[in-house]
Copies of this chain bind each other. A is one copy, B any other.
Amino acid sequence: MSSSSALLAQLIDALRCLPGIGPRSASRIAYHLLGRDRDGARRLSDALRDAAERVGHCERCRNFSETPLRPVCSDARRSGDTLCVVENPAQLAAIDQATHFRGVYHVLMGRLSPLDGIGPEELGLDRLEERLREGQVRELIIAVSATVEGEVTAHYLNEMARALNIRVTRLAQGVPMGGELEALDSGTLTQAFELRRDY
């Protein structure tokens, strides 16, 4: 498409900022939008601009927010005794919808990954430490993914909270609901076996 249109070439190039979109997909998407869905393209343009300009981070929990403080972070009915740390807003939404948790959250917006240059500073963990130092939190629930980076993150958070004499808990690990033993990966199975409990 070198010669057809500079604006088209620019659009194809700009689409590459989307994760997982290579040059072929970017061309395909651009042709689709210009050929069949210009309204969608305009709507997406507006939504990108509005979100990029006006969505910031909550001062308290670091989650995306259009206001300095998310409503839930100033909700007096939420107990500040229990703080649940998640990696990202999707995990927060999943826990909030699935459980009856009525405490407060902290969103890391990532996880520790020294190899990728993501350390405590990049995750703003000093802000979390400040929050813990306020003295209200009695239990820190670590709700991170069961991955290597998740483990590194959990280890760091555990050290931080223990130094402040705060109880630390983690989500249980084991056989997922409905999971057939023979279909589990061996890592999960080994862990579930070692963490077995009295009946």
Chain A interface residues (CB < 8 Å from chain B): 1-8, 10-11, 13-15, 17-20, 25, 27-35, 37-38, 40-52, 54-55, 63-66, 70-72, 88-90, 92-93, 96-97, 109-110
Cβ–Cβ contact B17 & A43, under 8 A: yes
CB neighbours of A19 from chain B (8 A): 28-29, 32
With A4-B89, A5-B65 as known contacts, state yes or no: A40 contacts B14, CB within 8 Å.
Answer: yes
Cβ–Cβ contact B27 & A90, under 8 A: yes
Residue with the greatest number of chain B CB neighbours at <10 A, chosen from A7, A29, A32, A33: A7
Cβ contact of A64, chosen from B5, B89, B90, cutoff 8 A = B5
Cβ contact of A34, chosen from B28, B30, B51, B92, cutoff 8 A = B51
Q: How many copies does the complex hold?
A: 2
CB neighbours of A45 from chain B (8 A): 44-46, 48-49, 52
Distance in angstroms between the alpha carbons of A16 and B43 in the assembled complex: 11
Q: Which residue of B lies closest to A54 (CB)?
A: B7
Cβ contact of A47, chosen from B10, B20, B109, cutoff 8 A = B10
Cβ–Cβ contact A47 & B90, under 8 A: no
A144 smallest CB distance to B (angstroms): 16
Cβ contact of A33, chosen from B6, B17, B90, cutoff 8 A = B17
A2-B97, A5-B51, A17-B44 known; 15 new pairs, CB 8 Å cut-off, are A1-B90, A1-B93, A3-B93, A4-B93, A7-B55, A7-B66, A13-B47, A17-B37, A17-B43, A19-B29, A20-B25, A42-B48, A44-B45, A45-B46, A45-B52
Distance in angstroms between the alpha carbons of A19 and B41 in the assembled complex: 12
Q: Which residue of B lies closest to A10 (CB)?
A: B47
CB neighbours of A32 from chain B (8 A): 18-19
